[in-house]
Amino acid sequence: MENVSNHTQLALRIKQLKAKKFIQEEELKVAIKEFVNTLSPLSMVKDSLHKLATDNEVKTDLATVGLKLGANLLIDTVLGKRSGIKGFLSSLLVENVAGSYINNNSSKIISTISQLLNKV
């Protein structure tokens, strides 16, 4: 700490301390705002989803679920799941076969689709 011996030095020191106070207050405001944002539920969900989106295992699982849903929709549409007992049973059988095929070959299917999409 400096010794102040006259009025000019005192006025200069007061200005320096006020400037330092202003900077510290701004830094504190930013820190509090960041802290509050980390506590918000939306921010927590967003951070969690970001972490999940970067996890390759989760990406593969989501892609597999998407493939199954797409296959089931296509099968239901083509075989007419709601058009009688024959349509229901045949679509159920094909869905099970397609589901097990997708489970066993999901990484191959996903990479093939990715290659096709990259070409387009």
With beta carbons less than 8 A apart as the criterion, state whether 91 and 81 touch. yes
Residue 5 pLDDT > 80 = yes
- Is the model more confident about 82 or about 65? 65
- Write out pLDDT tens, residues 12-47: 999 999 999 999 999 999 999 888 877 777 777 777
- Write out pLDDT tens, residues 58-80: 777 778 888 888 888 887 777 77
Residue 1 pLDDT > 70 = no
CA geometry: angle at 9 spanning 8 and 12, to 5°? 90
- Write out pLDDT tens, residues 91-106: 888 888 888 888 888 7
Which pLDDT does position 20 carry in this prediction?
96
DSSP state of 80: T
CA geometry: angle at 62 spanning 59 and 66, to 5°? 135
Which pLDDT does position 79 carry in this prediction?
75
Which pLDDT does position 120 carry in this prediction?
67
CA distances, 31 to each of 27, 28, 37 (Å): 6, 5, 10
With beta carbons less than 8 A apart as the criterion, state whether 89 and 81 touch. no
